[in-house]
């Protein structure tokens, strides 16, 4: 494996770990407020998306000259948008765990985030 492939593969693994940490262990009770209706979801989802953006920024700073910092803002914005679609009680959040559409929505959400990291 040449150096470029090694770095690309390493980044994919690092982004997978980043995604797991930010989406599960670091997503506390407050951030789960992203499932609320009205406007109560905005701050919890913003906090959750900031965690993703912060970790992405750290990865970008470690693996680049710092000139790709703006990609952390894109990651944060895409994460915010996709999670709102998935959590909104008026969109995909209306599906319950025993509905197959819940699993399709969750799977699409995760795929979207992973493809964001690939891009």
**Domain ranges, ordered by start, for the chain:** 3-118
* Contact assessment for residue 118 and residue 105, using Cβ atoms and an 8 Å cutoff: no
Contacts of residues 32-35 at CB distance under 8 Å and 24 or more positions apart, as own/partner, are 34/83, 34/84, 34/87, 35/87, 35/89, 35/93
The confidence score (pLDDT) of residue 1 equals 63
CA distances from 43 to 50, 58, 74 (A): 10, 22, 18
- pLDDT attached to residue 65: 87
Kindly give the parts of the chain with pLDDT less than 70: 1
Q: What is the pLDDT of residue 5?
A: 86
pLDDT single digits (tens) 7-40: 889 999 999 999 999 999 999 999 999 999 899 9
Element (DSSP H or E) covering residue 85: helix 70-87
């Amino acid at each position: 494996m040449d150096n470029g492939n090694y770095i690309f593969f390493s980044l994919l693994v690092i982004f997978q770990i980043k995604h797991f940490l930010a989406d599960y262990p670091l997503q506390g009770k407050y951030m789960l407020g992203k499932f609320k209706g009205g406007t109560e979801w905005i701050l919890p989802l913003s906090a959750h998306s900031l965690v993703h953006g912060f970790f992405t920024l750290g990865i970008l700073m470690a693996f680049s000259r710092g000139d790709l910092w703006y990609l952390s803002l894109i990651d944060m914005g895409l994460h915010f948008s996709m999670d709102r679609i998935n959590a909104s009680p008026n969109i995909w959040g209306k599906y319950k765990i025993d509905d197959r559409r819940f699993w399709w929505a969750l799977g699409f959400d995760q795929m979207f985030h992973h493809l964001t990291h690939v891009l």
